Amino acid sequence: MSLVKTPLIGLKADSFRHTLDLEATKTLKQIPGLDMMVRNLLGPMAEQVFYVENIASSILVGEKQLPHLHKLLLEACQILDVDPPQLYVRQHPAPNAYTFAMRGKQPFVVIHTSLIDILTPEEIQAVIAHELGHLKCDHSVYLTPVNLLILAAAIVPNVGTILAQAIQSQLLEWVRCAEFTCDRAALLATQDPKVVMSVLMKLAGGSPTLAPQLNLEAFVAQAHAYDDISKTELGEMVKSARTAQLTHPVPVLRAREIDRWASSTEYQNLLQNQGLKSGSATLSNGGWRNW
């Protein structure tokens, strides 16, 4: 039996945005010309590159193509109050998903087949909802350079390396903070912290063979052990150096953050208040049901 979920009609991005995301965004906005560079210079090029890549090398999900994934997308969009983007499935050995939206064009989400292979349907929806969080929070301006780096590195490795070395540290810091916000979007859509943390656990060490054998409680304990490293100056220094060039926070840190937020009054009040706004409607088994 599927979990009965509360649709969050009228949900505002700032109601779940992580404080680190807010602070990092303020820092980015102080970089002169960054917004203009992305929208007017990188944007048009990125649109064409990503469009060609998706049409040529990915599968567009719809009612007649992988309808079970299409259903997960629509349900997550209804819960988060987001217009449905296009969803593509791409053959790729590295478990990953990403989002692109620029200049008023049709936004889209891409999920790699290797990620789908290790996840349950509920976990796939958590991934989709995480990507919807980027759209809900209008992260596209600053995500574009990062996604260009990922794509460039895959197509022309040397170019990707050069670009990665040139990207500003503030941008990487912002991206890591934005991921915390979008993990919250995943939780709001699935309304089950274990589902979101399980995705992170499988990203850390999952495979089609190992994924069913992983122990979530042990992974959560591992996440709390990661905190203990910061108790010494050397440990904190090593952690900072380890994450400085990453585009995502490490999985154990993301799991710890979602575990904390799921237990917070902020999260509980958000579900309760939005549920009242939506007339106490619930969503179950893919359809609306009003009590």
Active site residues: 131
Strands (E), the chain: 58-60, 86-90, 97-100, 108-112, 281-284, 287-290
Alpha carbon distance 170, 136 (integer Å)? 22
Burial of residue 222, with CB atoms counted within 10 A of its CB: 0-12 exposed, 13-18 middle, 19 or more buried: middle
Alpha carbon distance 172, 214 (integer Å)? 30
The token pair at 238 is 């090593």
Q: Is 7 helix (H, G, I), strand (E, B) or coil?
A: coil
Count CA atoms within 13 Å of residue 73 on its CB side: 22
The amino acid sitting at 231 is K
- Return the bridge partners of 108, or none: 86, 100
Neighbours of 212 (CB within 10 A): 10
Count CA atoms within 13 Å of residue 184 on its CB side: 30
**97 Cβ contact partners less than 8 Å away, ≥ 6 residues apart:** 109, 110, 111, 112, 115, 127, 128, 130, 131
Cα distances (angstroms) measured from residue 11 to each of 54, 133, 137, 168 = 30, 11, 11, 32
